[in-house]
Amino acid sequence: MNHHLFSKRALLRVLGAALLLGGGALRAQDRDLVIYAYDSFVAEWGPGPKVIPLFEKEQGCKVTLVSKGDAGQVLSAAVLEKAAPKADVLIGLDGNLVAKAIKADVLQSYVPRNRALIPAGLDFDPTHHLTPFDYGYFSLIWDSQKLANPPRTLADLAKPEFARKLILMDPRTSAPGLGFLATLVATQGEHWPAFWKSIKPSILTIASGWNAGYGMFTQGEAPLVISYSTSPAYHVQNDKTSRYKALLLPEGQVIQIEGAGIVKGARHADLAKAFIEFMLTTKFQGELPLTQWMYPVNAAVALPASYSVTPRPAKVLRVDPAALDRAVAQWPDVATR
Amino acid sequence: MHASTQGRRDRNPFAGQGARVVRALPWLLVAPLFLVPLGAALAAGRATAASGPGFLAILASPSILASLRFSLLEALASTLLALALGLPGAWLLARFTFPGRRLYAALGGIPFVFPPVLFTLGFVRAWGRNGLINAGLMHLFGLQAAPLDFVYSFSGVVIAHALLDFPLVVGLVGTVWSRVPRTPEEAARCLGAGEGRIFATITLPSILPGVAAAASLVFLYCFMSFAIPLALGGGPACATLEVSIYAAVSGQQDFARAGSIAMIEGVCAVGVLALYSLLNARSAAASSAAPQERLPLAAQRPGTRRAAALWLAATAALALSPLGALVLSSFTQVGRWGGAPSWSLAAYQKTFSDPASLRAMADSALLAVAVALLAVTIAVLLLLGEGRDGKTGLRGIFFALPIALSSVMLSLGYLVLFPLGAGVGALALVQATAAYPLAWRTLSAARSRIPAGLDQAATLLGASRPRILATIDLPLLRQALGSSLALCGAISLGEVNAALMLNPTDFPLLGLRAYRLMGSYQYPLACAMGVLVCLIAGLAFSAADGLAEPAS
């Protein structure tokens, strides 16, 4: 008969429970996959809550999905823990971050076994450090209820009729903001500062992020905003309105391809590889259109009817990352003059 | 009693061994709360520093200098405007009683509870070119173009900051002003001095330290603002240093650069903080124990009554305009956002029927309570270790550092320290760290007003130290404790940065939820969330004020 108040077993159970209740780090067990992603992927309205349980069930493992803020912060997090990586997979690095990620040497190369699902032209990393999983086109969106004659080319933006009618975002703090700058760099080359000067009167404001900028646009502050070409599809699908339309320029649209990669030195490399391959399957890709509002790379996925409101761009622009980096460094001075 | 022991007792309520422990605890428990994340962030810069421009080169670069210049200018302009809007209200709050006085005082919580991105949207919704006020004016006067077009400019930034922060001035200066002894003024009046002379020579000098302390706090908040200047300023010319730090971390993964810019920002912020600490102590020293008697506004001359009523209504409307716009927006149908308003409770129906958002409300309230208790406990701990005279010196500046530290840098620190996120306990500690300096200042100021004679009398009558604390000090601090709790709870409710970084995925929070809703096109729902946050905070403030002196 045990006369002690707490038997050794109970004490051990209590200790074990206390350890489990402790910080998040202690919860990661050996069958756990750790993924860093940007916030909208992890959010309740993003694809995370839908696709992660599917993978967990398939593999019989547990996945810890961690939001790091935006894609740049995902890369920052990986760089910071380079010596002893905790993450296995990074989700959300786009074409602009590929070079930085490779240079920082935080990813390992992996060719997924089902890579045939990726159309040629979307494989944005020939070294296979990043596997693409979705893509979108940056495009100006205009409000057809406020604007009778939208601009037809980039140069039209400089016309006096569009004075203070354009909302942009800071390319240093926002992906669409960077996308607009990329459009200028791709079409104007090194002469983009002169072009920026010509459209300056048309800019109403430069918001810190898409949240604020797009919010002001839908509030009617200005009839033009830089966003994704799929934004009108959202409004058709959920708001039952087709007043917001995408502006496809003859010069072309800049493509944003987002990818995922396996962290160099990942502790669960096999699970990570399985996850990369899972990301290309229709089970994962099928959730993307209505949560990410981006095009899935897997062409077998049927797009919702609302996506047909914006046609695919005739011309796709790509920009040299080094040139874009130079432009971003120059931009504060250009935009202030 | 011996003169020297009497003096020592006055300086520290707990003499001896206990005092040493109490004085040491903050250094062991509180300092690490903000030093560790800061150290982690700076260490990250040191570790990853490749070849790059040195600290001085960064300081001298034109864009950083421009950001510094802009940050200082807009903070100064915003502070002056906030003072102009806040001081008359502070005087009314201090001197008179009137119906709705408590509500007007409760406005002081707004600056803390509003996530900046939501505030920006609300401000634009109210004052923007397509905003409610312009729409109203255009309808009223049959105008074609929007008459008020100041939002996207330097003026827009300044006005937005002032509208956000002037209630703070009203609250802080109102409290100070209400405790300025009335007798010198009345004596001067008896001797025949005019009102203007009385104000200039007697009133102003006694409230000046308090006013300058409030001004320093507003300056600090505006100086370190991120979203508002960028969204309204119209371009990178209106980017504060915080933006540059963020760009360095997220855009360039250049932590060394981020650290250097943060140090530049930090030096300025600490300077302002030092000024604030100094002035706060001076103002506390100049005030009396209890608030002076307040006169009913209804008994004043009709002219004064009308002017006061007009001023109060106008400034309250200004302070509430962004929130009011959000309230109106939350009643628009989910989907017709931006178009002709079609009234609908859809956003609220969705909010209250969605178990996740109900959980977010409950969890946010719980977290707010935890943060409030934690922060006030830390504040009391700091209070116990210091003297009664309100003088703080370097220790005061050091422990107030959390409000002068760049939130982007702290986020970077959390990124380093908690790679897999952290539990809600860590989040509560982090939020409490941001909140405790304000609670500490409030309590410290309140305690310095307790006359030392009370404690001495009780000691003479034989009461022990703990009994004095429990029966004399704490009840007198009751109001300050209540308002500190409400303040810290409000700060927790509106906090998004740490919640984002520490990401307790199984603990949904209102502020974070609103931010994420905005990121997925769902603006009316985001507004509903924001309105709920402000409502909960407003209730807490009213309740806290209810703990105030009975005759108010």
Maximal CA-CA distance, chain A: 93
**A145, A220, B131, B133, B134 from B138: Cα distances, Å:** 19, 15, 11, 8, 6
Select the residue of B120, B501, B516 nearest A212 (Cβ to Cβ): B120
A209 and B117 within 8 Å at the Cβ level: the answer is yes
A170 and B121 within 8 Å at the Cβ level: the answer is no
Give the residue ranges of chain A where pLDDT is below 50. 1-7, 10-28
At B354 the pLDDT is: 86
What digits encode the pLDDT tens for the residues B392-446? 678 888 888 888 888 888 888 888 888 887 888 889 998 999 899 888 888 877 7
Angle between helix A95-104 and helix A321-336 axes, rounded to 10 deg: 110
At B334 the pLDDT is: 52
At A288 the pLDDT is: 95
Task: Name the closest residue on chain A to residue B134, using Cα atoms.
Answer: A221
State the smallest CA–CA distance between residue A269 and chain B in angstroms: 17
What digits encode the pLDDT tens for the residues A25-72? 444 455 689 999 998 899 888 999 999 999 999 999 999 999 888 899
At B456 the pLDDT is: 79
At A1 the pLDDT is: 42
Q: Are strands A166-169 and A224-228 parallel, antiparallel or unpaired?
A: parallel
Interface membership of B39 toward A (CB under 8 Å): no
> Is there a contact between B213 and B79 (Cβ–Cβ < 8 Å)?
no
Angle between helix B132-141 and helix B116-127 axes, rounded to 10 deg: 10
Interface membership of B236 toward A (CB under 8 Å): yes
Residues of chain A contacting residue B336, judged by C-beta atoms under 8 Å apart: 239, 241
At B90 the pLDDT is: 92
DSSP string spanning A11-38?
HHHHHHHHHHHS-HHHH--TTEEEEEE-
3-class secondary structure for B427-453? HHHHHHHHHHHHHHHHHHHHHHCCCHH
> Is there a contact between B389 and B19 (Cβ–Cβ < 8 Å)?
no
Angle between helix B478-493 and helix B523-546 axes, rounded to 10 deg: 170
Q: Are strands A130-143 and A224-228 parallel, antiparallel or unpaired?
A: antiparallel
What digits encode the pLDDT tens for the residues B223-241? 998 888 878 877 777 888 9
B420 and A34 within 8 Å at the Cβ level: the answer is yes
Interface membership of B121 toward A (CB under 8 Å): yes
A205 and B233 within 8 Å at the Cβ level: the answer is yes
Give the residue ranges of chain B where pLDDT is below 50. 1-9, 12, 549-552
Residues of chain A contacting residue B503, judged by C-beta atoms under 8 Å apart: 42, 66-67
Residues of chain B contacting residue A22, judged by C-beta atoms under 8 Å apart: 423
At A297 the pLDDT is: 96
At B4 the pLDDT is: 47
Task: Please list the alpha-helical segments (H only) found in B290-399.
Answer: 302-330, 346-353, 355-384, 393-399
- What gap in Å lies between CA B263 and CA B270, rounded to an integer? 10
Full-model pTM: 0.84
- What gap in Å lies between CA A168 and CA A294, rounded to an integer? 20
B520 and A40 within 8 Å at the Cβ level: the answer is yes
Interface membership of B420 toward A (CB under 8 Å): yes
A23 and B418 within 8 Å at the Cβ level: the answer is yes
How many of the other CB atoms lie within 10 Å of CB of B495? 26
Interface membership of B426 toward A (CB under 8 Å): yes
How many of the other CB atoms lie within 10 Å of CB of A6? 11
> Is there a contact between A267 and A85 (Cβ–Cβ < 8 Å)?
yes
At B531 the pLDDT is: 86
At B148 the pLDDT is: 87
Query: Which secondary-structure segment (H or E) carries B544?
Result: helix B523-546
DSSP string spanning A197-256?
HHHGGGEEEEESSHHHHHHHHHTTS-SEEEEETTHHHHIIIII----EEEE--TT-EEEE
How many of the other CB atoms lie within 10 Å of CB of B422? 21
| Residue (of A89, A223, A218, A258) closest to B520 by Cα position | A218
Task: Please list the alpha-helical segments (H only) found in chain A.
Answer: 8-21, 24-27, 39-42, 48-59, 71-80, 95-104, 175-188, 192-199, 210-218, 231-234, 269-280, 282-285, 288-291, 321-336
> Is there a contact between B122 and B228 (Cβ–Cβ < 8 Å)?
no
Residues of chain A contacting residue B411, judged by C-beta atoms under 8 Å apart: 69
| Residue (of A316, A322, A263) closest to A129 by Cα position | A263
B253 and A79 within 8 Å at the Cβ level: the answer is yes
Compute, in degrees rounded to 10, the torsion defined by CA atoms B159, B162, B163, B164.
120
